[in-house]
Amino acid sequence: MKAIILAGGYDQIALIQELKKRGFETILIDYYENPPAKNFADNHYQVSTLDIEAIKKIAIKENVHLVTTACTDQALLSIAKVSEELVLPCYIPYKKALNVTNKKYMKNVMNKSGIPTAKHKVVSDIKSIDLSEFKFPIVVKPTDCNSSKGVQKGFNAKEGVQRIKEAIDLSRSKTAIVEEYIEGFEISLDAFISDGKAEVLLITRSEKIKNSTGFTIVQSRFPVDLDHKIIKKIELVVQSICDCFALPDGPLLVQMIISGKDVFIIEFSARMGGGTKYKLIETLTGFNIMSSYVDLITGIAPNVKVSQKYNFAHLNYCYAEKGIFSNLYKFKDLKQEGIINDYFQYKSEGTLIDKAKTSSDRVAGYLITADTIEELNEKEKRADKSLGILTNTGKDIMIHDLI
């Protein structure tokens, strides 16, 4: 049996390994020459994961049995479209994949279904924009990009128009979403849908890089201090999303803002979270969501069962200044000492790091767990002080003190 895997980041390594356990020959499609997952796959085509016609040709040439991806947003649309046209098994139909990957369609269904979200407008023509109906700041985002690309705040009309122009330019469909900024804090909810019911696996708080107009995630924090009433609201809204969008069984990622006693949905997707969230879920709950996902896409009914393993945990993401990445410094040592549970390298050696503006720019990540918040904070201080991202000249380009 053969399987095509779209996208070759660190998260897709685990997907490839799970497929190989089940006897699949794995074919990786990623437009980078040397993506992190390349050496784990049996073959690699340097093709964009968004080039549906090229993917179809490869699937026909290789006579594959499955086209899949994990932990990435826009490639979900590609696997659904190719699978539908080649009559291959896929857990999500193309129309549903469109609703959960394009924010224009997503917001439309949310509006009709009464799912709480920020006041917003879809725009495609920069000349006809009228921002007078919005309170500032506003948030602008392309309708069909991932990894927080093009997602920025605008603090006045002039700045807002510029942000909209940038978002439209980034969008493949040349459309953007403008929405009012909601004061509060952001949480990320991971669930697994079984027989139409969303089983909540984990709720984490998403911390962003401070003093930035963007929304780049620097940390996922567990637990989140939420009272019983808010948790109940969250669960009801998440189940409402499943029902209104008629989502298929499988993983579900929901991002939302908690503002006082209210819950507002930012966006969601029928997938696992990126940035090694699958590993965070397994570490904290004992549930191997990646293995269960592969069960699902290969025709085996997953068994969803969770139990809390740690009191406190932080998954921290590391970004870097401009330079050519050579190696990670002290990550292995701190893991052996028990300061960090695990670490994850998202960029390949030799990669030019030229910015730290979106979540896809993260170079590495590391997971810390503890029984007390004091222990967690001490470990975190030690890690931030000791770890490094080195160039080939030994210079540390890691941006410290982000947390």
* Spacing of C-alpha 248 from chain mean position: 19
The pLDDT of residue 89 is 95
Task: Indicate whether 358 and 256 sit together in one domain.
Answer: no
Task: Indicate whether 202 and 280 sit together in one domain.
Answer: yes
Q: Return the ∠ at Cα 98 (arms to 214 and 42), rounded to 5°.
A: 85
- Residue at 214 is within a domain: yes
Residue 356 has pLDDT above 80, yes or no: no
For CA atoms 345, 76, 138, 191, give the dihedral sign: negative
Task: Indicate whether 212 and 280 sit together in one domain.
Answer: yes
Task: Indicate whether 271 and 192 sit together in one domain.
Answer: yes
- Residue at 349 is within a domain: yes
The last residue of a domain, from among 241, 268, 297: 297
The last residue of a domain, from among 134, 163, 180: 180
- Average pLDDT of the residues in 13-31: 97
Taking CA atoms, 369 is separated from 203, 221, 273, 284, in Å, by: 15, 10, 19, 9
How far is the C-alpha of 94 from the C-alpha of 81, rounded, in Å?
5
- Residue at 13 is within a domain: yes
- Residue at 98 is within a domain: no
Count other C-beta atoms under 10 Å from residue 146's C-beta.
18
Task: Indicate whether 6 and 81 sit together in one domain.
Answer: yes
Task: Write the secondary structure of 238-274 as one string of H (helix), E (strand) and C (coil).
Answer: HHHHHHHCCCCCEEEEEEEEEECCEEEEEEEECCCCC
Both tokens of 75, joined, read: 């490639």
Q: pLDDT of 338-353, one tens digit each? A: 999 999 999 999 999 9
The number of folded domains in the chain is 4
Domain with residue 334: its CATH number is 3.30.470.20
Task: Indicate whether 271 and 197 sit together in one domain.
Answer: yes
Domain with residue 155: its CATH number is 3.30.1490.20
Nearest to 400 by CA among 278, 388, 138: 388
Which residue segment(s) compose the domain that 124 sits in? 119-180
Task: Indicate whether 189 and 292 sit together in one domain.
Answer: yes
How far is the C-alpha of 314 from the C-alpha of 376, rounded, in Å?
8
- Residue at 109 is within a domain: no
Task: Indicate whether 351 and 376 sit together in one domain.
Answer: yes
Q: Do 104 and 122 contact (CB within 8 A), yes or no?
A: yes
The last residue of a domain, from among 70, 90, 110: 90
- Residue at 50 is within a domain: yes
Residue 201 has pLDDT above 90, yes or no: yes
Quickly state the pLDDT bin for 212 (edges 50, 70, 90): low
Residue 214 has pLDDT above 80, yes or no: no
Task: Indicate whether 131 and 211 sit together in one domain.
Answer: no
Both tokens of 53, joined, read: 């016609």
- Average pLDDT of the residues in 235-259: 94
Count other C-beta atoms under 10 Å from residue 142's C-beta.
24
- Average pLDDT of the residues in 19-34: 96
- Residue at 238 is within a domain: yes
